[in-house]
Structure 1
Amino acid sequence: MCGGRSGGGKVAAVAAGLDDPWARAVLTAVANPADELLGRLLDRCGAAPVVAWIAGTGAEPAASAELAAGAAEKLRTRLDRWRARYERLDQDAMRAAAEAIGARLVCPGDPEWPTQLDDLGAARPYALWTRGGGDLRFAALRSVAVVGARAATAYGAHVAAELCHGLGERGWTTVSGGAYGIDGAAHRGALAADRPTVVVLACGVDVPYPCGHSSLFQRIAADGVILSEWPPGTVPSRHAFLIRNRVIAALSRGTVVVEAKTRSGALNTARHARELGRAVMAVPGPVTGEMSAGCHLLLREWQAGCVTGAADVLDQVGLIGEDMAPPPDATVLPRDRLDPTSAAILDAVPARGAAGPATIAVTAGHDLDTTLRCLGLLAAGGFVERAPTGWRLPRRAAP
């Protein structure tokens, strides 16, 4: 959390004058994300009364009594933890840290708030800290989450980059977590298509994690969006990554898992996507590859969409008539339209030389009258021609 300590009088004064957006900013620092009890309380009475209660300058919100049985008692139990964090919070330092990096706060109801996050219900973020030149709501309108293993293979990294490059060329935004491996390849593929991309972090937006992606985050911030539920200065924790994954899933129309073991955070993101009614997709890999075992599990047990390229993704998440993939190239040859008997007789005509109708009939397994009738029709269609010694394929058709 943001360091520093405010005196008791200053804390009370600041809390009493909180507007709702800044109250939500304070909640990102004092409460764990995805607390559904707190989320329901916020929906009923707003953030400022809740923060005043935590600060000790306001009464317990009356709406807490309207929650499910036992919920008010659970809230009071959590109050001690929230109050302890609040007393350690230096709000001036938090505000200054955000201003220093050009971070902005996006709250539910703001023009930049992606309304699809409301599908999370009471577990939606209290607010989002964001930075970057892109508009979050606009970037997420047509977006796909692409996630996978940190220890990605060369195959997985190549597929992720090509996939997101293809999506970017079609006007779609890639959402991922900024980690090594598949996440990083996905972001780079989108940037190569000159398309903004969105990074959802499990730490403050001013904390480059992983450190090796500092330059990548700078490139993303130019036109894309970097966002987090945690305030500036927050360092990542193992549990935070799992909490963060629900936001990646909710922001996007669907989630593609490129590579993952059977126990993987990427499968956690896919699980959130399935619970939210989003499309779940997976890229197949070598059957001997451990890094694709999770993808094969999704294909086998979750009936995930099989993805081999951007067109397959848009088949799952795109609009009918606008984003659907073209049908596979399956040119119909004239002989494909023949009835089975005519096709069998045509196959019995030798590729070189000629054969009499009796020989063709025996080879095709049909009687002579049927063979003669079909040979006449095949000749009319240009499939065979009469020769001095029988029937043969036209010279232009012979191999």
Structure 2
Amino acid sequence: MTASTLDTSARTPLKGWLAVLAVTLGIFSLVTTEILPIGLLTPIGEDFRITPGTAGLTMTLPGFLAALAAPAVTVAAGRLDRKILLCALMVVLALSDVLAATAHAYWAVLVSRVLVGLVIGAFWAIGSGLAARLVGPERAGTATAVIFSAVPLGSVLGVPAGTFLGELFGWRAAFAVMAVFTAGVLAALAWALPPLPSAGATRLGVLREMTRQRATRLGLAVTVLVVLAHFGTYTYVTPLLRQVTQVSPELITVFLFVYGTAGIAGNFVAGAAIARDLRLTFLTAAGLIGVVTCALPFLGDTEPGALALLVIWGFAYGAVPVCSGTWFARAAPQAPEAASVLFTSSFQATLSAGALLGGLVVDAVSVPAVMVTGGVVALLAVAVLSRARSA
């Protein structure tokens, strides 16, 4: 009898899906909290009288720390029940929001972002691989797509809502609301999740062994290339829309909302498509990102052209997290938690690195140049996958 069977045999399908929803809300809370400062950097900088670059540390810190926290916390947790661990992580996330909302010095804000990074790495590493344990292997693909839908939902709903609150009541109010929301998610997890005893302590030796497998190395390579390309370019899509397309600030919000909505659709379409051909789905997503980012500086000089390309880009990127997460899970079916750790670490580290490297290209050359550079990197991922056998 497998761990998934043990977890699901005594529960109704409804209870399993409610647990999936609770985990999805947890990741939504994480994603929203992680990228919330995007719309609040200016008021944060003005409040503490710091430069935009210094305020930007609120964005770069969590990603790098999450990459370290994913293996560190998972290994340190040993055989601790995963329900208890996930609930404890939500407590820490709520406290980090409270700390940010009440900070009287910028160092306190940075401490809160350190806590956010630790929670992101650990919660993602555990929560993203729970689908089969909650609803059974036969529904794992759909459940995984539901869980990963929290990523575009956080961008589409969470960040605009936080920015709106910040404009009305101040940036601290946005973090205060997130603290209350996270407390609600904690209650949902405590109520909906069944006991989740560890299927076996994740050890560093298991992670090292996984990286020796060809399928895992291929997944790492493609994930790094695609995520590097995406965040190296998407971080600077607003300057592109202003400089090349000459879109008004009000309309940029609409463009990004449409982009995020397309990402939600791409997430669910990919969830169904990977059941038929994971490699082709991942390859298609990477290819579309590469073509669109290369084309934006040339075909995005009109509003209809830019909007059409953003829809394709959003749809394609919506498929990336679920493709990458599923790839790692299939590469190590005997160690699902270790697979989630590698997925989380590679994704989060490359997310932050992409934004930093993209900034270097923008400063050295231009915003259109970073789009083309990112597109070439994404197309390199296509070349890597094209040479691989079907996953």
Bigger helix share: 2
Q: Give the structure-1-normalised TM-score.
A: 0.25
The higher relative CO (CA closer than 8 Å, separation ≥ 6) is in 2
TM-score between both structures, scaled by the size of structure 2: 0.26
Larger Rg: 1
Larger strand proportion of the pair: 1
